[in-house]
């Protein structure tokens, strides 16, 4: 991972130096670096990059863009890895809200995020909310299955 991190750092320096107005061009490099940090156990550093990625994504795409769902979800995962589920819950809830707002209730991606949300709620001790969220996941699955069966 050290070689990859070094290469990504050089790429980030080059991108910032030679194309400073293209901040969105930094996103794939920052995301790759955050994944490397997370996989190598450098979770706090990955979280710091995750916050930078989220802020840059908000500046680039807007605060209500469904493109924020993934960085929010990644940041929530990092909070969970640090045994901070209470901090992860609002992030995953916002991810679900953005997906719902952009594509309605019957999306496989939304069901996946809601499933994570339910697991986080359960881990944080919110068992009743978790059960309700899993019910929503089940209902999405049923509607999607019904739609697929008709086609």
- pLDDT tens-place string over residues 34-72: 999 999 999 999 999 999 999 999 999 999 999 999 999
Neighbours of 147 (CB within 10 A): 10
Q: What is the pLDDT of residue 151?
A: 64
CA angle centred on 111, ends 31 and 109, rounded to 5°: 40
Q: Please give the Cα distance from 72 to 23 (Å, whole number).
A: 19
Q: What is the pLDDT of residue 2?
A: 77
pLDDT digits (tens, 9 = 90+) for 66-90: 999 999 999 999 999 999 988 999 9
Q: What is the mean pLDDT of the chain?
A: 91
Q: Please give the Cα distance from 10 to 56 (Å, whole number).
A: 19
Is the pLDDT at 1 greater than 80, yes or no? Answer: no
pLDDT > 70: percent of the chain: 99
The predicted model gives 89-106 an average pLDDT of: 92
Q: Is the Cβ–Cβ distance between 143 and 104 less than 8 Å?
A: no
């Amino acid at each position: 991972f050290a070689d990859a991190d070094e290469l990504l750092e050089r790429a980030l320096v080059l991108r910032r130096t030679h194309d400073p107005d293209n901040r969105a061009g930094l996103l794939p490099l920052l995301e790759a670096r955050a994944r490397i940090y997370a996989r190598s156990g450098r979770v706090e550093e990955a979280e710091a990059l995750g916050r930078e990625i989220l802020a840059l994504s908000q500046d680039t795409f807007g605060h209500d863009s469904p493109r924020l769902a993934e960085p929010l979800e990644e940041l929530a995962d990092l909070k969970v890895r640090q045994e901070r589920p209470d901090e992860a819950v609002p992030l995953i809830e916002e991810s679900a809200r953005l997906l719902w707002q952009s594509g309605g209730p019957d999306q496989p991606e939304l069901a996946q995020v809601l499933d994570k949300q339910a697991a986080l709620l359960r881990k944080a001790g919110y068992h009743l909310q978790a059960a309700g969220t899993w019910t929503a996941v089940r209902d999405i699955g049923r509607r999607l299955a019904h739609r697929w069966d008709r086609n």
